[in-house]
Amino acid sequence: MRKVLVLAVLALIVLSVPAMAARVVNVPIPHDPFTVYQAYCGKTCSQVAGNKEFLGAAAGADVIKAVPGVLAIVPGESWANFVTAAGKVAYTVTNVTLRKTVPAYECTVAVGGANVLQQGTANITTWWPLMYEIPGTKWTLTITYKTPVWNDGVPGNLPATTHQDVWTWQVGANFASMIDLINLFSELPAGSCQVPLINNKALANELVAEVQKLQAITDPAELSDAFAAFVLLLSDLCVTVDCGTCAPDLGIRNTTENPACCKLLADADFIAAEMGFNQAAK
């Protein structure tokens, strides 16, 4: 009898090892990151943000050329839209965290948001305006939940009762998104002043044309020189004025409330780094 009990105890210990190992070695369920932008083409584009049409601008000669970007997180019931187990096995969410990390960036005025850490289902902000967020800013959503013993299908993971899904969104920038941003700033009013952030429409068109020229350059050395000249142009156009100054020949408004010029410079820095050269001037 004693021998049987000893064997039973050993069996329990052996059977418990896989469950313990699963909790230790399992990695979060990975998901490909999403790239989001501060502005998207408007009525002038037929497709916006992954083949979703943007509607709402009246037809006519003056149509919306760009709309502000927004990160909209739609949880679904019990975060079902972001839980791999949803529809496969019963689950209970035990914790949700959202971490926002912002790269350091220096300019003549502050641009970009602050680092944020939110925890708990009821405390997660699911609507994030992107217009003044700098490229490289990242949101990481982590959802921890319990299930019956379940294999989540991730190579190397063992059947377990605790799982995590991790989702990320990161602000990106490229020549196309910069054109959208210039168009947006040429249409969007600066606070109560009701004057666009790029007040001179001819200037906005000139900036778009300059970016289109950059897009067409294939020689790396020529592109580096042309890009440096473009960044210097942006820097020269930065103007810090109060809302009462509404002259039609302003450059690109650059204030604490509306850091449009520093925002464009941040995008230029990011694009330069992506292409392997650094041509920033602030």
* Tens-digit pLDDT profile for residues 134-162: 999 999 999 999 999 999 999 999 999 99
Which residue is listed with tokens 């982590």?
A: 142
Range name among 121-125, 198-202, 248-252 with the lowest pLDDT average: 248-252
| Residue 56 predicted with pLDDT over 60 | no
Specify the pLDDT at position 62.
Answer: 57
Interatomic CA distance for residues 196 and 180, integer angstroms: 15
Q: Which residues contact 89 (CB under 8 A, 6 or more apart)?
A: 147, 148, 150
Query: What secondary structure does DSSP assign to 92-146, as a single string?
Result: EEEEEEEEEE------SS--S---EEEESGGG---EEE-TTPPTT-EEEEEEEEE
- Average pLDDT value over all residues in the chain: 83
Specify the pLDDT at position 45.
Answer: 65
The string of pLDDT tens digits covering residues 226-263 is 999 999 999 999 887 665 555 555 789 888 888 999 99
Query: Residue range 58-81: average pLDDT?
Result: 82
For the beta carbon of residue 70, count every other beta carbon within 10 angstroms.
14
| Residue 19 predicted with pLDDT over 60 | no
Specify the pLDDT at position 189.
Answer: 80
Q: Which residues contact 72 (CB under 8 A, 6 or more apart)?
A: 126, 127, 128
